[in-house]
Amino acid sequence: MSENTLHQTPDKNKEKLEVEGLFYRDGTPISILIENGHIKDVIKKTKLEDPEQHNLFIGPGLIDIQVNGYLGHGFTTPGLTVENVKEITQNLWRVGVTTYLPTLITADSQILLENFAILASAMRDSQVSWSVPGFHLEGPYISPIDGFRGAHNRKWIHPPNIHEFNEFLTAASGKILLVSLAPELPGAIDFIRYCQQKSISTALAHHNASTQIIKQAVAAGARLSTHLGNGMANTIARHDNPLWPQLAEENLSISIIVDGFHLTPEMVKVFYKAKGPDKIILVSDTTDLAGLPPGQYIWDNKKIELKPEGVIFYPEQNVLAGAAAPLINDIGNMIQFTNCKLAEAIDMVSKNPAKLLGLDDRGIIEPGKRADLILFTIQNNRLEIKKTLIAGKTVYHN
């Protein structure tokens, strides 16, 4: 287990380390010098000494801002334990995710309070704290309308409540970093403004807001559209719908699920052309069913189907109910669908989410940053993780 466990906080690691590979931006050979868990220097080389490194790319660790669960454990599921959180964290290292936001969705407020407290407790463990800077709350402040609410339970959906949210924030030890909500709900604009004052990022999600309301939300501080193109009705008006104003709004970045199911390749290509590579964040949106065998499951008292091709479906509403593919799959699909550069796709899962969350110590490869790195191969636009490092410590080695 030594390859998969941080036995000490990485900043106590006084060892010097050198990591070689092909720089993900331009494919040139580089050597990264690491000291005390941080990048000390990045040196360009004429060639790599080790022949085994010749096809090995090196990039920043992946940052996933929307992880609902993994391998049978959900962050909104009753009975969540600190050990569950540690298990999810270690398994995400295997697919290159060095930083992620455990995401709690619409549920009874007591469950949210209990699980935020459990997550906050888990962050006292060094294995978790170096991968989990905070949490994402998606709901219960979303549209209750069928189609727009997706698989969220209507029973617990309601307008934003600052008093309730402060209770969530206290239970989470102040670590809620992102809130996704519907801006058309009563009190939503004031809530966005409140979060802005507390340096909490807000995102628009599961909503049917007008252009005017979207502009008001952005003026109040909203900076992201969560999983754009999803959390919407299957049929929308040609002209008057929430998709166009979010794409047109220059001050909104978007997160998208590029697993090959949630969005068509054509939609992804249009989103890429409209927003550009600097305002797109790829997310996995994995649920607790991710990594489990295909079949029918009962999830939040609803019958959900995990299909063999890796998509989770909610038959009652004829909508998707979350994803089952790891974030690394999005990178290859993004390249395939848009013909973007590898560096652009990697930035969408590293630099861009780090910037959104204000994580100034990670997300890019340059001196002074934390040495969160992945070594990977790429073939036919498919990436395979060979090694994952957090603060200079190897936490996964294939």
Q: Which of 39-43, 161-165, 184-188, 313-317 has the lowest mean pLDDT?
A: 313-317
CA distance 211 to 248: 10
Q: Give me the residue label for tokens 């800077």.
A: 133
SS3 track for the chain = CHHHCCCCCHHHCCCEEEEEEEECCCCCEEEEEEECCEEEEEEECCCCCCHHHCCCEEEECEEEEEECEECCEECCCCCCCHHHHHHHHHHHHCCCEEEEEEEEECCCHHHHHHHHHHHHHHCCCHHHHCCCCCEEEECCCCCCCCCCCCCCCHHHCCCCCHHHHHHHHHHCCCCEEEEEECCCCCCHHHHHHHHHHCCCEEEECCCCCCHHHHHHHHHHCCCEECCCCCCCCCCCCCCCCCHHHHHHCCCCEEEECCCCCCCCHHHHHHHHHHHCHHHEEECCCECCCCCCCCEEEEECCEEEEECCCCEEEECCCCEEEEECCCHHHHHHHHHHHHCCCHHHHHHCCCHHHHHHHCCCCCCCCCCCCECCEEEEEEECCEEEEEEEEECCEEEEEC
Place 13 in a pLDDT band, splitting at 50, 70 and 90.
very low
> What is the pLDDT averaged over residues 89-114?
97
62-357 matches 2-59+362-397 in CATH topology: no
CA distance 243 to 116: 32
* Residue 53 pLDDT: 66
* Residue 7 pLDDT: 38
CA distance 229 to 254: 10
The percentage of residues in the chain with a pLDDT greater than 90, rounded to a whole number, is 80
Q: Which tens digit of pLDDT belongs to each residue from 158-194? A: 999 999 999 999 999 999 999 999 999 999 999 999 9
> What is the pLDDT averaged over residues 40-65?
89
State yes or no: cis peptide before 293, omega within 30 of 0.
no
CATH of domain 2-59+362-397: 2.30.40.10
Q: Which of 301, 348, 336 is nearest to 321 (CA)?
A: 301
Q: Which tens digit of pLDDT belongs to each residue from 122-150? A: 999 998 999 999 999 999 999 999 888 98
pLDDT of 2 over the 70 cut: no
* Residue 57 pLDDT: 97
Q: What is the mean pLDDT of the chain?
A: 93
> What is the pLDDT averaged over residues 355-376?
98
pLDDT of 6 over the 50 cut: no
* Residue 313 pLDDT: 85
* Domain boundaries, given as residue ranges, for the chain: 2-59+362-397, 62-357
Q: Pick left, alpha or beta for residue 363 (phi over 0 → left; psi -120 to 50 → alpha; otherwise beta).
A: left
> What is the pLDDT averaged over residues 268-284?
98
Q: Which of 77, 59, 51, 73 is nearest to 23 (CA)?
A: 59
* Residue 301 pLDDT: 79
pLDDT of 236 over the 90 cut: no
> What is the pLDDT averaged over residues 244-270?
97
Alpha carbons within 13 angstroms on the beta-carbon side of residue 372 total 25
Cβ atoms 291, 70 nearer than 8 A? yes
Superfamily (CATH) of domain 62-357: Metal-dependent hydrolases (3.20.20.140)
Residue at 85: amino acid letter? V
